[in-house]
Amino acid sequence: MLDACLADTAPAGITIEPGSGRETDGTVEAWFRFETASLRGRGHVRLVDGLCRTLFTAAVEIKGHEEHTGRRREMGVEHGAYRGRQTWVERRAAREAALGTTEQPYCLIIGGSQGGLSLAARLNRLGVPTLVIDSLKRPGDAWRRRYRSLHLHDPIWACHMPYMPFPDHWPFYIAKDRMGDWLEAYADLMEIAFWGSTTASNARFDEATGTWTVEVERDGTPVTLHPKQLVIATGMSGAPAIPRFPGAETFRGVQCHSSAFDSGAAYAGRKVVVIGSNNSAHDICADLWEHGAQVTMVQRSSTLVARAETLFRFITSKIFSEDALAAGITTEQADFVAASRPYSMVAELHRRLYPEIRAHDAAFYARLEKAGFMLDFGEDDTGLSMKYLRRASGYYIDVGASELVANGEIALRSRVQVTRLLPEGVELSDGSVLEADLIVYATGYDPMETWIAQLISPEVADRVGHVWGLGSDTRRDPGPWVGELRAMWKPTRQPGLWLQGGNLQQVRFYSRILALQIKARMLGIQTPVFDPKGLAH
């Protein structure tokens, strides 16, 4: 790849940033700026004993097509008197009315939550005509429609959206409805063209013209769009995975997936069974307990549990916290630090770190195990981050439900499987029956590639391959090892198709990388792609 790219890339102008060269635990870190023939970039290097341990570079802007920020900001008005002048609101309304009707978007983004909105904001700043569509009515509704007690599990410093950090008086953990309101305001303030209540039913790519034909239904009206670039930004998962237990049709109560659960208010004094032990399962059990339900969690496999306060102390606070800000680690700096460490090193680091976490919370874990809860710390003791990166759903960031499990206020049945459903409840593999008025399936989601198969075709889904995961050859992350998240934020094996997903920190950082790749194609800049299998295309 270097042989093919180095001459045309022409890296030059490497300058070390002020403050570089600090040594911590035998590692010297340095930041640098550089240029190539077409872009400006930023890099980070770690040196151990004078030798390079890691080297990370990332594009920041394309020369001649920089964002209109700072000294490049637009005037906003041409002073003088002009007949027929349009106001800002009139110009915006005209742009949005034309996009998707008389003018085609260059980029169509399916998904109007943080992933789609962060990318659209980046593309807008780069002058790429972009349209976001979502089956829900408003930006942020994906958050609003979740269960009422939901809060973000990551602290606020990790969750800022591009260009618009949260106000500095906002709380440590943000409520889901507040997040939904913020995303709706963000879409408006970032002037994102958004079509709500719009569902994409089919997408086809014309190899000859390099154009997509995307059939959508907007408020019941069929519309055909013809973007050059198509981004699926519906998250890293596909449709809800709902198990099909024998006898499900005979159950007299209510059954729902965790994604459809809103509140336990209607189940005070009634019996509820939650199948699963992931984040959603714990949060829903806690919500039901708060409303006075008699709730039982069915844990079918071991689960990694880490207390939110402990994770913040040992991991997150080092780059996302008030202390980090005071030390000069801005959001951009923290994002670069997070991205600069290869995932194999993340596994290595966490394998050393989790014994400390387990020792710190030993009494907490002992109470959980005494209650019968099956614990694990990842298949290779690499902890929560690696489980998340490997698509494994069996983890919980404890924000209170674990204490209810440990003291028996949330009943637990573990080391059992569901045999079948009966009219009155759930029969388990040990022959016991749990009576229930409500069964909640906190059973995760299908892989993201299922969306591709449904929207485009199974053949394209097969071509794209596994989405997310590192190839660690664990239960949900088949090998071979690829060392980076598969198919995310980069060209897929289907021309013109991109995938955007991840947590708020990831979509914030990688939305710029993805937006620059799309802008480069719009400009006709040469963008050779090197497939892990060794094929350039």
Predicted confidence (pLDDT) per residue in 243-269, tens digit: 999 999 999 999 999 999 999 999 999
Identify the H or E element spanning 201: strand 198-206
Q: 201: pLDDT confidence band, cut at 50, 70 and 90? A: very high
Predicted confidence (pLDDT) per residue in 39-63, tens digit: 999 999 999 999 999 999 999 999 9
Which of the listed ranges 6-15, 157-166, 391-400 does the model predict with the highest average pLDDT? 157-166
Predicted confidence (pLDDT) per residue in 320-365, tens digit: 999 999 999 999 999 999 999 999 999 999 999 999 999 999 999 9
More reliable by pLDDT, 387 or 125? 125
Average pLDDT for 12-22:
92
Q: What is the pLDDT of residue 184?
A: 98
Only one residue has tokens 């490049």, namely 72
Tokens of 132: 């976001």
Q: Dihedral sign for Cα 248, 251, 256, 257, please.
A: negative
Predicted confidence (pLDDT) per residue in 431-464, tens digit: 999 999 999 999 998 888 999 999 999 999 999 9
Q: What is the pLDDT of residue 472?
A: 87
Q: 533: pLDDT confidence band, cut at 50, 70 and 90? A: low
For residues 308 and 151, the answer to whether their CB atoms sit within 8 Å is no
Q: What is the pLDDT of residue 537?
A: 46
What mean pLDDT value characterizes the chain?
A: 94
Q: What is the pLDDT of residue 152?
A: 93
Predicted confidence (pLDDT) per residue in 135-183, tens digit: 999 999 999 999 888 999 999 999 999 999 999 999 999 999 999 999 9
Q: What is the pLDDT of residue 374?
A: 97
Distance, in Å, from the CA atom of 202 to the CA atom of 452, rounded to the nearest integer, reads 10
Q: What is the pLDDT of residue 109?
A: 98
pTM score, whole prediction: 0.95
Q: Which residues of 183-213 are buried (b: 16+ CB within 10 A; e: fewer)?
A: bbebbeebebbbbbebebeebebeeeeebbe
For residues 412 and 224, the answer to whether their CB atoms sit within 8 Å is no
Average pLDDT for 76-97:
91
For residues 496 and 109, the answer to whether their CB atoms sit within 8 Å is no
Residue spans of alpha helices (H) in 291-342? 308-314, 322-326, 331-340
Q: What is the residue-wise DSSP string for 485-525? A: -TTSSS--SSTTEEE--S-HHHHHHHHHHHHHHHHHHHHT-
Domains of the chain: 2-62 (no CATH), 93-239+448-523 (3.50.50.60), 242-443 (3.50.50.60)
Q: What is the pLDDT of residue 463?
A: 94
Q: What percent of the chain has pLDDT over 90?
A: 81
